[in-house]
Amino acid sequence: MKSIRPVQISGVGCYVPERVLTNHDLSKIVDTSDEWILQRTGISERRIVDKGKATSDMAEQVVRRLCTSLRMDPNEIELLIVATVTPDMFFPSTACLLQHKLGIRHTWGFDLSAACCGFVYSLSVGAAFVAAGLHSKVVVVGSDTMSSIIDYEDRATCVIFGDGAGAVLLEPAKRNPENCLIDFHHEVDGSGGVHLNMPAGGSLLPSSCETVKNKLHYVKQEGQAVFKFATRKMEEASRIILQKNQLTPQDIRLMLPHQANARIIRGTAERLGLRDDQFVINLHKYGNTTAATIPLAMQDALDEGRLKQGDLVLLASVGAGFTVGTALLRWAL
C-alpha cells in the first residue's frame, strides 16, 4: 500500500433529459397547483427521460461529457462508481452496463446505494482509492431516473422528483496539495427507513400481481418526518465536519446542499448563519434528482463563476435510510 495522498476533483460533467415536466403539466394530472409546489418546495419544473431510456443512458452521457471537457480518453478511467437507487435492473450493476456502453475495457466498477447521499458517499469511497494510491483516475457518477419509481397519481411525491445525472473525476491533487478533499462525515439512522422507501421488488416483497396492484413499486414518503429530520441533520452534520476541522460556517465560500426542498436548504442556511451568496439552490429547474443534485449544483456554480480555486466548499445531504453525508474540500480548478 502506497502512502496517503491528497485527492482533487479534476472535472465535472452533467446531463439532464430534454423533456420538461412543469408544475402546470402536473396540475393537469393531480390535484395540485404551480403556486402550492413553488411555495412548499421551490420547484418549478423537472426533467423526465424518454421511454426506453434509463439510468445507465444518462450516466453514459455524463461520463462522455466529462471526458470531452477534460480531453480525456474514457479508456483512462480506472474505476467507475455509480450512485443510484434506480439502477436499470437489480443486476448486473449500472456500473457494468455503463462500462459496456462506454466501450472501456480496463476499468472495474460498482453501484453504491445511499439514496440522496449516494453522491457524497461515493465521493468518499472513490477518494479513498485515490488517496491510498490504488487508483489515479476514478469517476464518480450520480444518476437517477426517479420518474421510473414515482406514482404520478400521488401528488405528495410526484411534484418533488426529477431525472438527471452528474459526474466528477477524482485524481491525485496536481498543482496545490491543499486544494483537495479535506474530510467526510457520514451517518446512518436506519430507524428512518419507515419514512421514505420503495416497499416492493426486493427480497422481502418480490414483484407479484398483488404488489403491482397495491402500487408498492413506487416511492412512499411521510413528507413531514423527512422534512424535520433533513432540516435538523443538514445543520448538525455540517457543524460536526466544520468543528472537526477547526472551521466555522463563516469560513465556507460555498455550500452545495442536496436539493430536496428549498425550505430545507434555506432553513439549514439560516441555522448555520450563511449569507445567500454562500449556498446554491437550483432545484427550481430540476426538482430532486436524488444522487445527481450535488454535481448538478456544482456545475451551475461553476457556470455562474461562483467556484474559484482555493474556495472552501461544503457538500451536505440527507436521504432515505436515513442517510446523512457531508464532505469538505478546497476547490482545485
Ligand X SMILES: CC(C)(COP(=O)(O)OP(=O)(O)OC[C@H]1O[C@@H](n2cnc3c(N)ncnc32)[C@H](O)[C@@H]1OP(=O)(O)O)[C@@H](O)C(=O)NCCC(=O)NCCS
Q: Which residues bind ligand X (CB under 6 A)?
A: 32, 36-37, 40-41, 116, 155-156, 159, 196, 223-224, 226-227, 230, 260-261, 288, 318-319
Separation CA 13–CA 177 (nearest Å): 23
Closest distance of CB 156 from ligand X, Å:
4
Instruction: Check the CA dihedral 9-11-17-21 and report its sign.
Output: positive
Closest distance of CB 42 from ligand X, Å:
9
What residues contact residue 119 under an 8 Å CB cut-off, 6+ apart?
A: 83, 140, 142, 166, 291, 292, 293, 294, 295, 315, 317
Measured from the CB atom, the residue of 146 and 272 that comes closer to ligand X is 146
Closest distance of CB 163 from ligand X, Å:
15
Concatenate the DSSP letters of all residues of 98-163 into one string: HHHHHT--S-EEEEE--GGGHHHHHHHHHHHHHHTTS-S-EEEEEEEEGGGG--TT-HHHHTTB-E
* Parallel, antiparallel or unpaired: strands 312-319 and 254-257: parallel
Q: Active-site residue 214, yes or no? A: no
Measured from the CB atom, the residue of 177 and 223 that comes closer to ligand X is 223
Q: Where are the beta strands (DSSP E) in the chain?
A: 7-15, 20-22, 45-47, 79-83, 108-112, 138-145, 163-172, 181-188, 196-197, 220-221, 254-257, 312-319, 323-330
Instruction: Check the CA dihedral 150-299-58-101 and report its sign.
Output: negative
Residues 296/89, Cβ–Cβ less than 8 Å? no
Q: Active-site residue 282, yes or no? A: no
Residues 309/331, Cβ–Cβ less than 8 Å? yes
Measured from the CB atom, the residue of 133 and 193 that comes closer to ligand X is 193
92 cis-preceded (ω within 30 degrees of 0): yes
Closest distance of CB 227 from ligand X, Å:
4
Measured from the CB atom, the residue of 262 and 329 that comes closer to ligand X is 262
Q: Which of 179, 180, 258, 282 is catalytic?
A: 258
Closest distance of CB 6 from ligand X, Å:
30
Closest CA to 237 of 186, 313, 291, 312: 186
Closest distance of CB 265 from ligand X, Å:
10
Measured from the CB atom, the residue of 33 and 75 that comes closer to ligand X is 33
Residue type at 216 in one-letter notation: L
Q: Active-site residue 116, yes or no? A: yes
Angle at alpha carbon of residue 262, lines to 181 and 125, rounded to 5°: 25
Measured from the CB atom, the residue of 6 and 287 that comes closer to ligand X is 287
Measured from the CB atom, the residue of 159 and 298 that comes closer to ligand X is 159
3-state secondary structure of 264: helix
Q: Which of 14, 67, 116, 180 is catalytic?
A: 116
Closest distance of CB 177 from ligand X, Å:
34
- Please give the positions annotated as active site: 116, 258, 288
